[in-house]
Amino acid sequence: MMLSGWGRFPRQLCRTHRPADEAALAALVAEEEGPRIARGNGRGYGDCAMQRNATIDMRGFARMLAFDSECGQLVAEAGVLLADVIATFLPRGWFPPVTPGTKFVTLGGMVAADVHGKNHHRDGTFGRFVDWIDLMIEDGTVIRCSPQENAELFAWTIGGMGLTGIILRVAFRLRRVESAYIRQTTIPARNLAEVMALFDAHESATYSVAWIDCATAGLGLGRSALMLGEHASPAELSRTRRAAPLRALPRAVRKVPVDLPEAALNRLTVKAFNALYYRNARAAAGTTIVDWDSYFYPLDAVLEWNRIYGRRGFMQFQCVLPMEGAAEGLTALLKAIADSGQGSFLSVLKRMGAQHGPFSFPREGYTLALDFPFSERSAALMERLDAITLDHGGRFYLAKDARMSAATLSRSDPRSETFAAMRAGAGLGRFRSSQSERLGL
């Protein structure tokens, strides 16, 4: 089957399997002699959940198994979608402790990428809320991994991009919420220095993220809109919402019906979109109450939004720069983008908290996420962005990557060699994705 990630680049012909139950999966894993990798809902952007020899579709494992309403621990199979967790538990007053920018991810994928959200600076990654994982290893046996049992494998599996085995079941803790609404405060910032100062000033906010204009150079370089969020209490809601504070249904979704022509996204439309977004953010400055779906998942309202980039797809770039030198590094990255005239449509800046986990992406500093329609020019720009990131001691998010070189990975992240050695030592070398082969992991 022809597979690609959410960015629709690269595309590869992969032999895919969809085992119906654990016995079938175990037989497949034990008998398959070549490389194999698990795949969830295909929301990783590049080739992290693809393997030509054997890609194992885990969406058949989608059952929730147990919930402890005292501590909020949910035990569920790896193929359960985050959207289903929210649909089931938000009406009962529980919400995911950490969520990425889409709810159409599987729990297995969330563990494998050790996803972060707008609360990373305070709460860390999803992995910090995972109590245990059932992992199927090389010979098809299943072992329980937790901080107490098989602790090393547990640690490397969180953020391990599926390279330690097949994540079968996950136990993690939801957080209590009083309502399905978020109190959102939008603060415009005229340039990079301003937005960085705002992140510092609002360190105690539960959620914080900035949309950043990547098409504007000069004095307005890095102009952005910082969006803070807090779970709203019922008292803050309008009278109608207060009557059922936990019952905000997902919004109706629209679908991008066709691939847009590549010309639809060009220098002018990107610039116009970014300018418009900034103006809107300035106009919307202040505090409003928004429902959970609009706040956390604005893009989910448009199904298959990746099609706006046309048939050739798009590439994401996400790096994190350590605090020291972050301002210079971000300035250099933004300048390179503005100079290239290829401003990205959706550019996001976020202050990150401390690092957890031996191979997880986040570390203390600033992360910048960008997307570019696929072209030779944007590929060249991304090479430049790689170099600037390396110069400033940064590293890259593998869930977004589709094109980095092995040399760039090893220069950016010395942990990759330790990881490769750990996998070789534990006999886990046959869990390999197209991405891990490209990166020499």
Binding residues (CB under 8 A) for another protein: these are: 20-21, 62-67, 77, 84, 87-88
Half-sphere exposure of 247 (CA within 13 A, CB side): 5
Minimum gap (Å) between residue 105 Cβ and another protein: 18
Taking each helix axis as running N to C, give the angle between helix 192-201 and helix 326-340, from 0 to 180 degrees, rounded to the nearest 10: 140
Nearest to another protein of 78, 332 (CB atom): 78
Bridge partner list, 81: 106
Nearest to another protein of 16, 88 (CB atom): 88
Nearest to another protein of 22, 364 (CB atom): 22
Minimum gap (Å) between residue 63 Cβ and another protein: 4
Gap between the Cα atoms of 233 and 433, Å rounded: 44
Minimum gap (Å) between residue 240 Cβ and another protein: 23
Rounded to 5 degrees, φ, ψ at 220 are -90, 15
Half-sphere exposure of 255 (CA within 13 A, CB side): 2
Minimum gap (Å) between residue 18 Cβ and another protein: 10
Gap between the Cα atoms of 386 and 406, Å rounded: 12
Cβ pair 226, 208 in contact under 8 A: yes
Nearest to another protein of 84, 437 (CB atom): 84
Minimum gap (Å) between residue 247 Cβ and another protein: 14
304's CB contacts (< 8 A; 6+ apart) are 255, 256
Nearest to another protein of 20, 263 (CB atom): 20
- Tokens 């990798």 correspond to 37
Minimum gap (Å) between residue 107 Cβ and another protein: 13
Nearest to another protein of 87, 380 (CB atom): 87
Q: Give SS3 for 427.
A: coil
CA diameter of the chain = 61
